[in-house]
Chains A and B, each alone.
Chain A
Amino acid sequence: MATYLVRRLAYAVLTFLGITVATFALIHAVPGDPISFYVGKAGPRGVPPAVLDSIRREYHLDRPLPVQYLHWLGGIVTLDFGRSTIDRRPVTERIAEKLPNTFTLNLISFLLSAGIGVPIGMWSATRAGRATERASAVFFFLLYSLPSFWVALLLMQLFSVRFEWLPLFGVVSDDYDRLSPAGQLADRMQHLVLPVLTLAYAQLAVFARFSKSALTEVIRQDFVTTARAKGASATAVLWRHAFRNALIPLISLLGLIVPLLISGSVIVEQIFQWDGIGRLYFDSILARDYPTVMGMTVATAVVTLLASLLADMLYAVADPRIRLGEERQ
Chain B
Amino acid sequence: MRRLITFVIILTLAFACSPREKKAPPPANTAATAADDETPQDGGTIVRRLEADVTSLNPVVASSLYDRRLAFLIFSPLVHIDTDLRPIPGLADSWEISPDGRLYTFKLNPKATFSDGTPVKASDVLFTIRKIVDPASESVQIAGNFEHFDSANSKAVDDHTLVVAFRHAQASQLLRFNDVMAVPERIYSKGNFKQDFTNTPIGSGPYKLVRRVPGQELVLERRADYWAKPPYLQTIVFKVINDNNTAWNALKRGDIDETALQSETWFREQDNPQLKRRLEFRRFYTLNYNYVGWNTRDPLFADKRIRQALTMCLDRPALINDIYRGTARAMNGPFTPGEWAYNPAVRTIEYDPEGAKRAFASAGWLDTNGDGVLDKNGKPFEFDLILTSGSSTGAQFAQLYQAGMRSVGVKANIVTMEGTAAIQRILAGNFQAAYLGWDLDPDPDPYTLYHSSQFPPRGQNFVFYKNPEADRLLETARLELDFDERVKQYHRFHEVVADDQPYTWAIQVSLKWGFTNRVKGVKESRGGYGLVMWYPGELDWWIPQNQRRHEQPTAAAAPAAAERKPVVVPNEKKPAR
Question: Which residues of A approach B to under 8 Å, CB–CB?
Answer: 30-33, 36-51, 53-55, 58, 83, 86-89, 97-98, 111-112, 115-116, 119, 153, 156-157, 160-161, 164-166, 168-171, 174-175, 177-178, 183, 186-187, 189-190, 192-193, 196, 270-273, 275, 279, 283, 286-288
Contacts and interface: CB of A to CB of B under 8 A. Distances in A.
B135 A48 contact: yes
A148 to B, nearest CB: 14
Given A36-B424, A43-B441, A283-B52, 13 more contacts: A30-B421, A33-B420, A37-B420, A49-B458, A53-B135, A54-B138, A168-B253, A183-B20, A186-B15, A192-B12, A270-B242, A273-B246, A287-B420
A54 B136 contact: yes
Contacts of A87: 55-56, 198
Interface string B115-157: 0000000000000000000011011110111010000000000
Given A161-B249, A186-B20, A44 B446 contact: yes
B245 interface: yes
25 contacts: A31-B424, A36-B424, A38-B63, A39-B423, A41-B140, A45-B441, A46-B460, A55-B138, A87-B56, A89-B198, A97-B214, A115-B5, A168-B255, A177-B569, A186-B15, A189-B11, A189-B15, A189-B16, A193-B12, A196-B12, A273-B240, A279-B215, A283-B52, A286-B420, A287-B420
Interface in B395-443: 417-425, 427, 438-441
Contacts of A190: 15-16, 19-20
Contacts of B422: 32
B200 to A, nearest CB: 13
Contacts of A89: 195, 198
Contacts of A43: 438-441
A33 B424 contact: yes
B167 to A, nearest CB: 13
Nearest to A269: B242
A287 B52 CA distance: 13
B262 interface: no
Contacts of B552: 175, 178
A64 to B, nearest CB: 19
Contact of B241 (A39, A156, A161, A273): A273
Contacts of A33: 420, 424
B189 interface: no
A51 B143 contact: yes
Contact of A119 (B2, B216, B237, B441): B2
B243 interface: yes
Contacts of A115: 1-2, 5, 8-9
B64 interface: yes
Contacts of B138: 51, 54-55, 58
Nearest to A33: B424
B22 interface: yes
B140 A273 contact: no
Contacts of B220: none
Given A44-B448, A171-B216, A88 B140 contact: no
A111 B5 contact: yes
A83 to B, nearest CB: 7
B421 A45 contact: no
B488 interface: no
A41 to B, nearest CB: 7
A272 B250 CA distance: 11
B241 A46 contact: no
Contacts of A187: 20
A286 B418 contact: yes
A166 B5 CA distance: 22
A178 B194 CA distance: 35
A87 B439 CA distance: 23
Contact of A32 (B198, B240, B424, B448): B424
The 9 closest A-B pairs by CB, nearest first: A275-B215, A115-B5, A32-B420, A31-B421, A36-B424, A40-B423, A54-B135, A50-B135, A87-B55
B423 A164 contact: no
B449 interface: yes
Given A36-B427, A54-B136, A45 B144 contact: yes
Chain A at the B interface: SS class = helix
Contacts of B61: 88
B17 interface: yes
Contacts of B277: none
Nearest to B219: A174
A171 B135 CA distance: 39
B80 interface: no
B370 to A, nearest CB: 38
A169 B241 contact: yes
Nearest to A93: B577
B252 interface: yes
A46 B144 contact: yes
A153 B64 contact: no
Nearest to B11: A189
Contacts of B299: none
Contacts of B2: 115, 119
B310 to A, nearest CB: 23
A174 B550 contact: yes
Contacts of A38: 63, 140
Interface string B9-40: 10110011101101100000000000000000
A178 to B, nearest CB: 7
Interface in B87-115: none
Interface in B527-573: 550, 552, 569-570
Nearest to A49: B458
B440 A44 contact: yes
A272 B420 contact: no
B334 to A, nearest CB: 10
Contacts of A112: 5, 8-9
B135 A36 contact: no
A40 B252 contact: no
B110 to A, nearest CB: 32
B243 A273 contact: yes
Nearest to B52: A283
A137 to B, nearest CB: 22
B338 interface: no
Contacts of A98: 215
Contacts of A160: 249, 253
B459 interface: yes
B460 A44 contact: yes
A40 B147 contact: no
B232 to A, nearest CB: 21
Contacts of A97: 214-215
Contacts of B255: 168-169
Contacts of B19: 164-166, 190
A46 B441 CA distance: 11
Contacts of A88: 56, 61, 194-195, 198
Q: Which of B198, B241, B243 has the most CB of A within 10 A?
A: B243
A191 B216 CA distance: 13
Contacts of B15: 186, 189-190, 193
A77 to B, nearest CB: 23
